[in-house]
Amino acid sequence: MSVSELLELDATDLAQVLRAGDASPSDVLDATLDAAAHVGEPVGAFTVLTPDLARTQALAAGSALVAARRAGTVGTLPPFLGVPCPVKDLTMVAGVAMRAGSAAIEPFLAPHDDGVVTLLRRAGTVMVGKTTTPELGLPCYTEPDVGPTARTPWDLARSAGGSSGGAAAAVAARVVPVAHGSDGGGSLRIPASACGLVGLKPSRGLVSPGPYGVDGAGLATHGVLTRSVRDTAAFLDVLARPQPGDTFTAPGAGSASYLAATATPPARVRVGLLLEPVISAGAPVHPACADAARAAAALLAEAGHDVVEVAPPFGAERWDAFAALWSVGALQAPVPPDREHLLVPLTRWLREQGRAVTGLEHATALAGVQQLTREVAAAWAGVDVVLSPTLAQPPALVGSQRLDDDPAADFAAQTAFTPWTSVWNLTGRPAVSLPLGEAEVADPGHARRTVPVGIMLGGDHGDDALLLALAAQLEQAAPWSGRRPVLLP
Domain ranges for the chain: 3-477
Q: Which residues contact 257 (CB under 8 A, 6 or more apart)?
A: 237
Residue 419 is predicted with a pLDDT of: 98
Residue 331 has pLDDT above 80, yes or no: yes
C-alpha to C-alpha distance for 258 and 236, rounded to whole angstroms: 7
Q: Within 10 Å of residue 308's Cβ, how many Cβ atoms?
A: 11
Long-range CB pairs of 352-360 (<8 Å, 24+ gap) are: 353/323, 353/324, 353/327, 354/327, 354/328, 354/329, 354/330, 355/331, 357/324, 357/327, 357/328
**How many CA within 13 A on the CB side of residue 433?**
34
Q: Among the listed ranges 292-306, 349-363, 434-448, which one has the minimum average pLDDT value?
A: 434-448
DSSP letter (8 states) at residue 317: G
C-alpha to C-alpha distance for 346 and 143, rounded to whole angstroms: 12
- For residues 330-343, give the mean pLDDT: 95
C-alpha to C-alpha distance for 172 and 290, rounded to whole angstroms: 23
C-alpha to C-alpha distance for 134 and 144, rounded to whole angstroms: 5
C-alpha to C-alpha distance for 119 and 390, rounded to whole angstroms: 28
H or E segment and range at residue 222 = strand 221-226
- For residues 475-486, give the mean pLDDT: 94
Active site residues: 88, 163, 187
CA 390 to the chain's CA centroid: 12
φ, ψ for residue 295, nearest 5 deg: -65, -40
> What's the pLDDT tens digit per position in 128-179?
999 999 999 999 999 999 999 999 999 999 999 999 999 999 999 999 999 9
Residue 445 has pLDDT above 90, yes or no: no
Contact call for residues 139 and 346 (beta carbons, < 8 A): yes
* DSSP β-ladder status, 46-49 and 129-131: antiparallel
Q: Within 10 Å of residue 72's Cβ, how many Cβ atoms?
A: 8
C-alpha to C-alpha distance for 291 and 308, rounded to whole angstroms: 16
Residue 321 is predicted with a pLDDT of: 81
- For residues 242-259, give the mean pLDDT: 87
Q: Which residues contact 207 (CB under 8 A, 6 or more apart)?
A: 116, 221, 222, 223, 236, 239, 240, 241
Contact call for residues 474 and 300 (beta carbons, < 8 A): yes
CA angle 478, 479, 480 (to 5 degrees): 115
C-alpha to C-alpha distance for 352 and 350, rounded to whole angstroms: 5
C-alpha closest to that of 77 among 135, 18, 117: 18
The CA radius of gyration of the chain, in Å to the nearest whole number, is 21
Residue 254 banded pLDDT, cuts 50, 70, 90: low
Residue 108 is predicted with a pLDDT of: 96
Residue 381 banded pLDDT, cuts 50, 70, 90: very high
Contact call for residues 158 and 196 (beta carbons, < 8 A): no
In the chain, pLDDT over 70 holds for what percent of residues? 99
> What's the pLDDT tens digit per position in 215-238?
999 999 999 999 999 999 999 999
Three-state DSSP class for residue 268: coil
> What's the pLDDT tens digit per position in 180-201?
999 999 999 999 999 999 999 9
C-alpha to C-alpha distance for 269 and 99, rounded to whole angstroms: 44
C-alpha to C-alpha distance for 175 and 173, rounded to whole angstroms: 6
Three-state DSSP class for residue 228: coil
163 preceded by cis ω (within 30°)? Answer: yes
Residue 320 banded pLDDT, cuts 50, 70, 90: confident
Residue 488 is predicted with a pLDDT of: 80
> What's the pLDDT tens digit per position in 38-85?
999 999 999 999 999 999 999 999 999 999 999 999 999 999 999 999
Contact call for residues 431 and 223 (beta carbons, < 8 A): no
C-alpha to C-alpha distance for 419 and 421, rounded to whole angstroms: 6
Q: What is the DSSP string of 136-188?
A: GG-SSS---TTSPPPB-TT-TTBB--SSSHHHHHHHHTTS-SEEEEEESSSTT
Q: What is the mean pLDDT of the chain?
A: 96
> What's the pLDDT tens digit per position in 268-304?
999 999 999 999 999 999 999 999 999 999 999 999 9
CATH architecture of 3-477: Alpha-Beta Complex (3.90)
